[in-house]
Amino acid sequence: MRKIFSLILVFLLAFPITACGQNRAGETGTAVSIETIPATDTIEAVQETGTAPDDTGSEPVAEEETIAKAEFDFERRTVMLNSGYEMPVNGLGTYSLHGDKCINAVKSALSNGVRLIDTASAYGNEEEIGQAVRKAINEGLIQREDIFVATKIYPGSEMENPVQSIQACLDRLDIGYVDLMLLHHPDPNDVEAYKAMEQFVEEGKIRSIGLSDWYVEELTEFLPQVDTVPAVVQNEIHPYYQESDVIPFIQDLGIVVQGWYPLGGRGHTGELLGDSVISEIAEAHGVSSAQVILRWNLQKGVVVIPGSSNPDHIRENTEVYHFSLTEGEMARIGALDRGEKHDWY
């Protein structure tokens, strides 16, 4: 029965519960129309009885409603989230960046056209991120609406006091609003923390919300308990850890996938960049191994946020739109999967 319940629940999750935010088509000129259906009552019925309403044992009737899978716009270099906001598909990860190094890296990224900046409360650099953004605005380099800033709250005490923790992130960044806020990992208080983020969305302080380090089992358990389908799920993804079963599961729910550690992460980048398969493909295109890996992610529909403080590397990581990988090259990289996770979460 438990297996049947799980299968039914996964089927039901193929339909969105509801979408947060507002449609920005008037501002962007493009929008993704996603038809939603109320699923809360059905999910609750399955949870209580283990069967779907009106289940007579007959063959299930296929539903006509479908979820629009978010497609990358490579010309605009963005993707439309289910919240109605556009997110850049190539950004800067700021884990381990602090002080002037962090400020300079963010300003270098913004100067090179990067419009997505990813941070977190646990990184301890939200104040520097905010300072760099405000400087860039004051210098006329960008306007606030041009950029997309994401942050996260951490399990433990932060999720025990989510309203206070969310507000603290907003205060440290001090950039008016946050474009995307994520729960950093699953936690006993994650549902209440997520509901607190939903309230901040209603107040206009957060535009989109999502999850980090949630996989199939975690999502299957979590989603029926909340009212807003996440706009983004952020997980570790690179050629040695490809999540080939997880990515399509998330995307089929109308959720955008974002990959951290796209170049392998601490202590593993050198090995990955030196992989002979990737090096051969890079040489064939006249690009770097890093560019090949980032392009591979993008062609899989995975947003990338490589981290760097080196201005040359930051610029190089943005130059991934002048070439594309063939199906054969994508398959060769796909064959590199080791299921090798490079961090614990």
Active site residues: 123
Q: Report the SS3 class of residue 70.
A: coil
Name the region of 37 (left: φ>0; alpha: ψ -120 to 50; beta: rest): beta
CB 89 within 8 A of CB 75: no
Cα–Cα distance measured from residue 336 to residue 295, given in angstroms and rounded to the nearest whole number: 16
Q: Report the SS3 class of residue 64.
A: coil
Q: Is the dihedral of CA 290, 291, 292, 295 positive or negative?
A: positive
Phi then psi for 209, rounded to 5 degrees? Answer: -130, 160
Q: Report the SS3 class of residue 121.
A: helix
User: How many residues can be counted in the chain?
Assistant: 345
Cα–Cα distance measured from residue 338 to residue 181, given in angstroms and rounded to the nearest whole number: 31
Q: Report the SS3 class of residue 61.
A: coil
CB 118 within 8 A of CB 147: no
Q: Which amino acid is residue 220, in one-letter code?
A: T
In the structure, how many helices (H) and strands (E) does the chain have? 15, 11
CB 207 within 8 A of CB 180: yes
Q: Which two tokens stand for residue 122?
A: 């646990």
